Structure 1
Amino acid sequence: MDNSLVTEELFHLPARRLWQALTDENALRAWYFPQLRHVNPDVGFGFEFADDGSAYQKEWRVTQVVEGAKFAHSWGYKGFPGLSEVIFELFSEGASTRLRVTHTGLDSFPDDPHFARRRFEDGWKQILGVKLREYFSVPD
C-alpha cells in the first residue's frame, strides 16, 4: 500500500526563486531545518546536521536532482529502522510556481508516536505553509 503524503503550495514567485530556496544551504537552514550544517545539491551527498541532543537524529542523503525542477532526499533517523524519501517538484503556472512535496515510505518507520503520519502532515503544513512563506515574506 502506498502511504505517500502529498502536499502542494502555490507561490506567486518564479521557479528559480523556489529552486534557490530548495538547494542553497543557507536558505534551507532558514526555512527547513536550522540544525542543517552542510548540503550540496549533488546526488549521493549526505546532509550534515548539528547534534541537537534529540533521540531522533536525522540521516539524509540527496537522491535526485533535476536542475530547476526536482530535488529529493532520503529521510531516515540514526539508530531507527525505516527510510523515506522527500521529493520537491516545481511546476510553473504563469508568473507563479506550484511546489509539490511527496513524502514516500512513511510506513517503513516503526510504530512509534514520533513517526506517526499525523506528525509528518502537521510538519509539512508548518514547513511549507508557514516557514517557507515567511522566508519569502509572501501571503497565501
Structure 2
Amino acid sequence: MRKPIIVEQRFNTSTETLWKAITEHQQMIQWYFENIPDFKPEVGFTTQFLIENEGRQFTHLWKIVEVIPNKKITYTWQYKEYEGESIAVFEILEHKHQSILRITCEGLETLPQDIPEFTRQSCQGGWDYFIKQRLKDYLVE
C-alpha cells in the first residue's frame, strides 16, 4: 500500500458551513463536479456520473461508507470502465475559529497505472485544484 495523498486547507468558516459545502448536492455541483446527479451523506448511498477527458470515459461510482455529521464522510471511488477502488476521506477539524478540511485518498495503486489520470501527480493536482482553489473560492463568495 502506497502512501496516501493528503490535502489540507483552512477555511474562515464554521464546521457546519464547510460540512454543508461538501455534502449538500446543490452546493457540491457549484465547486466539485457539476454533473453529480444526487448526493446524500448517508451510509450506503450511491451515485454515478460520467466525466470525459481526452477521449477517455470515466464513469465515477461513489458509495458512502462512513458518516459522522459535521466531522467526517468517507466514500469509495471506483470507475465503471476500470479495475480498482480508492477511498476518499473528508475530515473537518476545528482550529481557532477556523475549519480545516483534510482529504485523504488511499488505494490509488489499485487503479490502472497506464492511465494518466490515475497517476499520483494527477490525483494530487486534482485534489489541490478542487479543495485549494474551487472550494476555497466557493466559500469566499
In the alignment, which of 75, 78, 103 is matched to residue 76 of structure 1? 78
TM-score (norm 1): 0.92
Provide the secondary structure at the position in 2 that maps to 1:123: helix
Unaligned runs of 5+ in 1: none
Identity %: 28
Over the aligned positions, Cα root-mean-square deviation in angstroms equals 1.4
- The structure with the largest strand share of the pair is 2
User: Whole-Å Cα distance in 2 between the matches of residues 3 and 32 of structure 1?
Assistant: 24
Provide the secondary structure at the position in 2 that maps to 1:55: strand
Contact 1:47-1:62 within 8 A present in 2 as well: no
The residue that corresponds to 1:10 in the other structure is 10
TM-score (norm 2): 0.91
Provide the secondary structure at the position in 2 that maps to 1:36: coil
In the alignment, which of 132, 136, 140 is matched to residue 133 of structure 1? 136
The residue that corresponds to 1:100 in the other structure is 102
The residue that corresponds to 2:45 in the other structure is 45
Q: Deviations over 1:50-86 (max 9, x none)?
A: x455511111111110011001111110021100010
In the alignment, which of 55, 59, 62 is matched to residue 60 of structure 1? 62
Q: Deviations over 1:14-47 (max 9, x none)?
A: 1010000111001111111111010111111102
User: Whole-Å Cα distance in 2 between the matches of residues 103 and 114 of structure 1?
Assistant: 14
Q: Deviations over 1:75-134 (max 9, x none)?
A: 110021100010000111121011100001011101122211111010011000110011
